[in-house]
Amino acid sequence: MPFPAFLRAAATLVLALAAALLCAWLRTPLPWMIGPLLATSVV
């Protein structure tokens, strides 16, 4: 059974937040942009 659209959107937002926090912890430039971009492109 496929996930409803709002659950997919919520999961993507949680993944993007986790990636942003990871990039901030790694001290990458622009972590709020690079982390979510990389995470959502992998998914």
Contacts of 40 (CB under 8 A, 6+ apart): 12, 15, 16
Q: What pLDDT does 1 receive?
A: 66
Contact 20, 31 (CB under 8 A): yes
pLDDT digits (tens, 9 = 90+) for 1-29: 677 999 999 999 999 999 999 999 999 99
| Whether the model pTM is above 0.85 | no
